[in-house]
Amino acid sequence: MEKALEQCLTALLAREGLEPKEGDLEQFSKIIELYMSTLKTLHSVNLGAEELGPVFKPEWTGK
């Protein structure tokens, strides 16, 4: 895992009084890196001025 990403994760955990289990950062490096790269894809879409919608509204009928 990239050093900066590892430091970021460790700092965020420390802020919550937590620390990673020994070996986890190495074991989970692939999924963490894949996740972080797909987050970039998520932000790549141009949503213009569209606002945050509410969580799914059950009464929505799709019509």
Pattern of binders to other proteins over 10-49, x per CB under 8 A? --xx--xxxxxx--x--xx-xxx-xxx-xx-xxx-x-x--
12-42 burial, b for 16+ CB within 10 Å, e for fewer? Answer: eeeeeeeeeeeeeeeeeeeebeeeeeeeeee
Record the tokens describing residue 15, joined without a space.
């802020």
Q: How many residues bind other proteins (CB under 8 A)?
A: 38
Tokens standing for residue 48: 């213009």
The residues of the shown chain that bind other proteins, judged by CB under 8 A, are: 8-9, 12-13, 16-21, 24, 27-28, 30-32, 34-36, 38-39, 41-43, 45, 47, 50-53, 55-56, 58-63
